[in-house]
Amino acid sequence: MKLEIDNRTPYLNDYYFQTLALLYFPGEKFRADDSGENFAYFLLEETDAQNHIFYSKVRLASGSAFAEAEWSGGYEPTIPMNDDFYAMNALGKAFLEAGRRLFGFGLPWGYITGLRPVKRAKYYLDRGYSAEQVMGLFERDYDVSFEKADLSVETALVQQKMLADIKPNDCGLYVSIPFCPTRCDYCSFVSYSNAKLFALIPDYLEKLMRDIAATGELIRRLGMRVRAIYIGGGTPSILEPDRINRLLGCISKNIEISENTEYTFEGGRPDTLNKAKLAAVKANGVKRMSINPQTTNDAVLERIGRKHSSAQFFKAAEEAFAFGFDTLNADLIAALPGDSAESFAKSLDDVIDLGFQNITVHTLSIKNAATIRFTEDGYYDPEGEFARNSVAYARKRLKEAGLSPYYLYRQKNTVGNAENTGYSVCGKENLYNVIMMEEHSTVFACGAGSITKLVSPSRSEILRHAYPKYPFEYLREEKGIGEDEAFAFFNRKEETV
Ligand code: SF4
């Protein structure tokens, strides 16, 4: 789509304007010479810099229809905010009004973009505001709906409890296995999924284990303690039992694992699991597993190119429960093409009835060519009513089943601007997801596509170190974060970590 930005202020960059536009035009790409049917024009001006008084004007067009809205005025936030906040507020008001006029529907998350709602809710709660007050601030400051404000605050309250005993020197460890048996159509994750590239797995594991050993040594020298380990992908369970044993053996040798260490192995694709692999995972001390059907409707699985059956999921879940893992998680996706309200409700019932204590409900995101094809096939509803209804239903149904939201995140281009939410029975939450998503604690990462994030004790600064995305690049002896760099980062902030 074409975007025209007339930003007469020093606040907000072009990327912000783009992400804002995507709230009403998910999946669009921005090209100056675009002559497609979608268009957005933004004007932002600060008319009184001292008092943060702005004038904004937004014009949106889709095909021959267009709408325009203006906003002018100041805004007094309850707590001090940076200058960008005032500009976002002024722009957001006009944008939402223009969108409502053009499309006839509002946005449940208001104009929030590039901001973690739960982190913001915790920010207010930590400053002594009550849950009701925080909800009021969400509605007032960001035009967030009552339901989403309530979801954010409830999630933040659960997180407050989960994080109460996390110390500044507690950290997480992520281990990446970026290989999958086949590629699902909707996936934008970089992973290798063909037999020729699987030949890299032995070398990849050797390199990965060297990195885990070096990371374990660095964690010890920094005086940190690993509270959560997450082996994710890709599909870690693509590894054969002997390789699972070697990898997990390496982790046990190099990382201090105690009763308090959360230890998760992402099974991911049910078709890769069998009793021998589950036995290897269990024997090495893993307490939590994730087995992800996304839907239990076989026609939908086929439609999204996820090459396993619901029967394979039910079998893998039954076997995993029989092994007695402490916690089992299942992921579902709302608004999949070909799905229906009844079929989504059945998928939810299936994972609840199986006994999963931890269930994540994602929403389809329009990210790559394959998902854009979904929209062309007429499966994508721009208002996202199906997605919105699905996530609202999931919340209600999971609450009835005794599961509460404990982490949530939003992505660009998500159908209906809906969110991804992790639900859990009390005590079965996933700490890794929370410390990583909320950038609450340092997470060391090993493997292609993984990112180490050092979080300063005050959480005011983050140092990132990313490994290359592709395994073949990673194999070129790419180094992890250096010891000098890590010590310099922590020592710059405080005397001790
Ligand atoms: S199994 Fe997961 S990571 Fe692999 S292609 Fe499918 S969605 Fe992507």
Among 185, 186, 191, 266, the mutation site with the greatest number of ligand 1 atoms within 8 A of its Cβ is: 191
pLDDT of residue 453: 96
pLDDT of residue 131: 95
Print the domain residue range for 363: 170-446
Same domain assignment for residues 430 and 357? yes
pLDDT tens track for 106-161: 999 999 988 889 999 998 998 899 999 999 989 988 899 999 999 999 999 999 99
C-alpha 46 – ligand 1 centre gap (Å): 46
Number of CB atoms found within 10 A of residue 69's CB: 19
Say if CB 117 and CB 144 are below 8 A apart: yes
Same domain assignment for residues 101 and 224? no
Closest approach atom of ligand 1 to CA 188: 8
C-alpha 461 – ligand 1 centre gap (Å): 32
Beta carbons within 8 Å of 164's beta carbon, 6+ residues apart: none
Same domain assignment for residues 197 and 59? no
Which residues in the chain show pLDDT less than 70? 368-382, 493-497
Same domain assignment for residues 98 and 187? no
Say if CB 394 and CB 334 are below 8 A apart: yes
* pTM for this entry: 0.92
Q: Choose one of 106, 138, 162: the last residue of a domain.
A: 106
Same domain assignment for residues 102 and 177? no
pLDDT of residue 495: 44
pLDDT of residue 35: 77
CATH code, 233:
3.80.30.20
CA distance 363 to 366: 10
Evaluate whether residue 266 is within a structural domain: yes
Q: What is the number of domains present in the chain? A: 2
Residue 403, classed as helix, strand or coil, is coil
Evaluate whether residue 477 is within a structural domain: no
What are the backbone angles phi and psi of residue 231, rounded to the nearest 5°?
A: -100, 110
Say if CB 266 and CB 239 are below 8 A apart: no
Evaluate whether residue 19 is within a structural domain: yes
- The secondary structure of 187-223 as a DSSP string is --S--B-SHHHHTTHHHHHHHHHHHHHHHHHHHHHHT
C-alpha 235 – ligand 1 centre gap (Å): 7
| Terminal alpha carbon distance of the chain | 47
Beta carbons within 8 Å of 340's beta carbon, 6+ residues apart: none
C-alpha 277 – ligand 1 centre gap (Å): 19
Evaluate whether residue 470 is within a structural domain: no
Same domain assignment for residues 39 and 181? no
C-alpha 185 – ligand 1 centre gap (Å): 9
Same domain assignment for residues 227 and 95? no
Same domain assignment for residues 94 and 176? no
Evaluate whether residue 344 is within a structural domain: yes
Q: Choose one of 54, 80, 106: the last residue of a domain.
A: 106
pLDDT of residue 56: 97
Evaluate whether residue 135 is within a structural domain: no
Evaluate whether residue 377 is within a structural domain: yes
Angle between helices 241-254 and 201-222 (to 10 degrees): 20
Please give the DSSP secondary-structure letter assigned to residue 470. S
Backbone dihedral region for residue 27 (phi beyond 0: left; psi -120 to 50: alpha; all else: beta): left
C-alpha 95 – ligand 1 centre gap (Å): 35
CATH code, 90:
3.30.160.100
The CA-atom distances, in angstroms, between 497 and each of 171, 387, 435 are 11, 43, 17
- Cα dihedral 4/8/14/19 (nearest 10): -80
Peptide bond before residue 233 is cis, with ω within 30 degrees of 0: no
Among 186, 187, 362, the mutation site with the greatest number of ligand 1 atoms within 8 A of its Cβ is: 187
CA atoms within 13 A on the CB side of 469: 5
Same domain assignment for residues 268 and 391? yes
Pocket of ligand 1 (CB under 6 A): 180, 183-184, 187, 189, 191, 233-235, 268-269
Same domain assignment for residues 259 and 187? yes
Q: Choose one of 422, 446, 470: the last residue of a domain.
A: 446
pLDDT tens track for 43-71: 999 999 888 899 999 999 998 899 999 99
Evaluate whether residue 451 is within a structural domain: no
pLDDT of residue 382: 61
Closest approach atom of ligand 1 to CA 186: 7
Radius of gyration of the chain (CA): 23
